[in-house]
Chain A
């Protein structure tokens, strides 16, 4: 299922079926490279997919095994506004919050999760029609690495 992209010398890996990762869930997949196996968290946030390396840039924790949650927005003193449910992941070690939409730490935006290109497509090995504009549950999620 892996296809070599001759321009970038990157590999496109089929990592899951769309049906496996419904909205609001995520899956940790393993992609073999020449030297080692890389763990990547694949997140479906409001129907959009995001792929992040399962290594926290802060201290090396398996960040994608943290809790997916919301957070408090900037507010007035003494006020708590809980929002962004499902858009934040909290690292399981030190509790740092990362924005799943950007990969950025909520305090220091330069501290970012390592992101990968992710796309969904119809599995063309099993179907010879050229294009399927509407995503179906049979589609495949690909990560290019």
Chain B
């Protein structure tokens, strides 16, 4: 047991690892060069949407600020409505409606947008409340530029990770993306992915067999993309090449992970000669380098079954609570998870996030 687990028993925190802070396109203008102003005015953010839209709405109506605007777009209201109300000690901001900027075919436009957006995160959000922590948005279609952007923004230590959409025309272990991981590792930052862009812009079909018909069908199957990325990252040796790198799989589900780990380990026993850079079982890389967030948590009829899954994936060290505020499938921190105890509860509700993001007693 870590010594800090006994000495800090009373310092329980609550950390929410997925809060969607909204943005209006016009907020980017002060941080964009003149050339792009007309683009913002006529094209908005330029972040491409998936085909699939929810008939019940993605945003919670009760999260619309009293002054109006998009849900989650007012820092003060977000603090009142979510941070204060739930007693959240730190909230990781992951952005809203802009993550898919990587899928914009015009990489120069996307690069301009991410740089401006990161400034908005800093001045509008991180300056607004000391409990907020930021994610450096990148355009994964231009890894060299992304690496520079990570170096530029990471000097502000309130940014605790890099974030990009999980939708991509390439699997994330591909060496095309390695400059991103190199820059993240150099700055001691994890790289997180968030779903929702699948089918948008330059990304392809959301399954190898094409397109689901409706939002529900599409939303059900999003975790297969997470399986594909995690599999790719391990097999392509990303965690051998960048041994300090952590990868955060936000909002992609959890219960698929035991299957993936076991299948990868089984195949590795026969096929290791094709990935000679791997020095241990694939599941060992996953346990060490991959972190998952809880929302939307799987809800089996028997909640013991979810606890068994937690055991299989060492959740006390790998899983982090997230609410997804202010989206429709929000998880209430007081009610979403089955009753947890001891190290498992501490790990999921705050300790794993505190360690990963250097928060609370883990602050450097």
Which residues of A approach B to under 8 Å, CB–CB?
Answer: 58, 71-81, 94-97, 105-108
Q: Is B107 at the interface (CB under 8 A from chain A)?
A: no
B175 interface contact, C-beta 8 A: yes
Which chain B residues (210-258) contact chain A, with CB distance < 8 Å? 236-238, 240-241
| Residue in B236, B237, B268, B274 whose CB lies within 8 Å of A107 | B268
A74 & B237 in contact (Cβ 8 Å cutoff): no
Q: Which residues of B contact A74 (CB under 8 A)?
A: 276-277, 279
The distance in angstroms between the C-alpha atoms of A73 and B275, with both chains bound, is 10
Instruction: Name the 10 nearest CB pairs between A and B, nearest first.
Output: A77-B237, A72-B276, A95-B270, A77-B277, A72-B273, A77-B241, A107-B269, A75-B276, A71-B273, A94-B270
- Cross-chain pairs A/B with CB under 8 angstroms, 11 sampled: A72-B274, A72-B276, A73-B276, A74-B276, A77-B236, A77-B237, A78-B237, A94-B270, A97-B272, A106-B272, A107-B268
The answer to whether B273 and A78 have CB atoms under 8 Å apart is no
A96 vs B265: C-alpha distance when bound (angstroms)? 12
- Cβ-defined contact, A78 with B175, below 8 A: yes
**Across the two chains, which residue of chain B brings its CB closest to A88?**
B273
Q: How far is the CA of A115 from the CA of B327 in the complex (A)?
A: 61
Minimal Cβ-Cβ distance residue in B for A97? B273
How far, in Å, is A75 (CB) from chain B's closest CB? 5
Q: Tell me which residues from 166 to 214 in chain B have a Cβ below 8 Å from any Cβ of chain A.
A: 175
Pick from A76, A77, A96: contact of B270, CB below 8 A.
A96
Tell me, in angstroms, the Cα distance from A94 to B267 when the chains sit together: 9
Please judge, given known A-B contacts A77-B236, A77-B241, whether A108 and B273 are in contact too, CB under 8 Å.
Answer: no
Of B236, B237, B238, most A-chain CB atoms within 10 Å: B237
Contact with A along B275-302 (1 / 0, CB 8 A): 0110101000000000000000000000
Partner of B276, one of A80, A105, A108: A80
A63 to chain B, nearest CB (A): 13
Report the bound CA distance from A126 to B325 in whole Å.
89
Main secondary structure of the interface of A (DSSP, over half): loop
A78 contacts B277, CB within 8 Å?
yes
- Among B238, B241, B272, B279, find the residue whose CB has the most chain A CB atoms closer than 10 A: B272
- Cα–Cα distance between A66 and B241 once the two chains are bound (Å): 33
Q: How far is the CA of A107 from the CA of B281 in the complex (A)?
A: 8
Q: Cβ of B58 < 8 Å from any Cβ of A?
A: no
Q: Once bound together, how far apart are the Cα atoms of A126 and B363, in whole Å? A: 81
CB distance from A106 to the nearest CB of B (A): 6
- Smallest beta-carbon distance A97→chain B, Å: 7
Chain A residue nearest to B281 in the complex (CB): A107
Q: When chains A and B are docked, how far (Å) is the Cα of A79 from the Cα of B240?
A: 12
**A85 CB → nearest B CB, Å:** 13
A78 contacts across to B, CB distance below 8 A: 175, 237, 277
B128 proximal to A (CB < 8 A): no
Question: Whose C-beta in chain A lies nearest to the C-beta of B175?
Answer: A78
Instruction: Indicate if the CB atoms of A107 and B272 lie closer than 8 Å.
Output: yes
Q: Which residues of B contact A96 (CB under 8 A)?
A: 269-270
The answer to whether A75 touches B270, judged by C-beta atoms less than 8 angstroms apart, is no
Question: Is B271 an interface residue, CB under 8 A from the partner?
Answer: yes
A75 and B271 form a contact (CB under 8 A): no
Chain A residues near B268 (CB, 8 Å)?
Answer: 107
Do residues B237 and A108 form an inter-chain contact, with CB atoms below 8 A? no
Given A72-B276, A78-B175, A79-B277, also A105-B237 (CB < 8 A): no
Measured between alpha carbons, how far is A77 from B236 in the docked complex, in Å? 7
Q: How far is the CB of B62 from chain A (nearest CB, A)?
A: 48
Q: Which partner residue on chain A sits nearest B241 by CB separation?
A: A77
**Once bound together, how far apart are the Cα atoms of A100 and B56, in whole Å?**
63
Residues of B within 8 A of A105 (CB): 269
Report the bound CA distance from A77 to B175 in whole Å. Answer: 10
Residues B277 and A108 in contact, CB atoms below 8 Å apart: no
Name the residue among A77, A81, A96, A105 with the largest chain B CB count within 10 angstroms: A77
Residues of B within 8 A of A77 (CB): 236-238, 240-241, 277
Give the residues in chain B near A76, CB-CB below 8 Å.
241, 277
- A81: which B residues are within 8 A, CB to CB? 276
> Chain A contacts of B281 at CB under 8 A?
107
Q: Which residues of A contact B270 (CB under 8 A)?
A: 94-96
> Quick one: closest B residue to A91, CB to CB?
B270
Nearest neighbor of A75 in chain B, beta-carbon distance? B276
- Bound-complex Cα distance A76 to B281 (A): 16
Bound form: Cα–Cα A74–B268 in Å = 14
CA distance A97 to B268 in the complex (A): 11
Query: Chain B's nearest CB lies how many Å from the CB of A18?
Result: 32
Residue in B236, B240, B268, B273 whose Cβ sees the most chain A Cβ within 10 Å = B273
Q: Which residues of B contact A58 (CB under 8 A)?
A: 269
Which residues of A have CB within 8 Å of B272?
A: 97, 106-107
